Amino acid sequence: MVQVIQAQTVNITYLKEKFGLQLADSDQFFTEWFENLPVITAQEKQTLDRVKTNYLSLVEGRPISEEMVKMVVLAPLLDLAGFYRPPFDIQTEQSIEITLEDAGEIARERIDVLVIKQQFWLLIIESQSAGFSLLTAIPQALAYMLSNPNPKRPAFGLVLNGSDFIFLKLTKQDSPIYALSDEFTLLKRKNELYKVLSILKKLSQILIK
């Protein structure tokens, strides 16, 4: 069953008013995406280079569905990061359909949601979908992360559309606070999937502690 959400309803302002959500005011709040990251091996780099090549080849001239994004880009990343092996268990959450209305025209986009150990949420949106960006999905990711059943531990998120990636962190002790990583993209000459995989490996280490 797909849950339909108006993008204008679930936004950062709504989350601030309803949950008291605040943006962290220090870079030290979310150091997990840039500090003491695991090293990526030469073999992993070769695999990631192939993932990037495959994606850019497929996306030429047409958008890629969220299912294709999961198969071509996300699945290899999760495999290399070890999320398909115990103690991890990937679950599929209820999909979200977001609607945007502009000048009388309504655009719809479905976001697929995966969750790992009830602490790491992944939101996948269709590649190159007009009117929708990662910023559209970030409030949805934060809404899921606010439901973290273990408020004493931080929740993490990853929003991606195949070519672009943003990581999130949220804590709920006292009042909910969140922060975003830099945005990584496959549209640069340097393969930024190296950094994405390194961050995923770092988060996998945190989740099993």
Which single residue is written with the structure tokens 């709504």? 14
The token pair at 65 is 């569905």
Q: Which backbone phi and psi does 148 adopt, to 5 degrees?
A: -50, 120
C-alpha span between 175 and 177 (Å, rounded): 6
> Which burial class, exposed, middle or buried, applies to 152 when counting CB atoms under 10 A from its CB (0-12, 13-18, 19+)?
exposed
108 DSSP β-pair partners: 99
| 16 has pLDDT over 70 | yes
List all residues 6 or more positions away from 190 whose beta carbon is below 8 Å from its beta carbon. none
C-alpha span between 17 and 208 (Å, rounded): 33
Work out the pLDDT band at 203, boundaries 50, 70, 90.
very high
Work out the pLDDT band at 95, boundaries 50, 70, 90.
low
State pLDDT tens for residues 148-199. 888 889 999 999 988 999 999 999 888 899 999 999 999 999 999 999 999 9
pTM score over 0.85:
yes
Q: Where are the domains of the chain?
A: 3-207
Work out the pLDDT band at 98, boundaries 50, 70, 90.
low
Q: Which backbone phi and psi does 82 adopt, to 5 degrees?
A: 85, 15
> 168-203: b or e for each residue (b if 16 or more CB lie within 10 Å)?
bbbbbeeebbbbbbeebebeeeebbbbbbbbbbbbb
Give the chain's mean pLDDT. Answer: 85
State pLDDT tens for residues 22-43. 999 999 999 999 999 999 999 9
Which single residue is written with the structure tokens 């080849």? 57
Side chain identity at residue 79, one-letter code: D
Rounded to a whole number of angstroms, the distance between the first and last alpha carbons of the chain is 33
Task: Choose among 76, 111, 115, 70: nearest CA to 92.
Answer: 115
The token pair at 105 is 């025209």
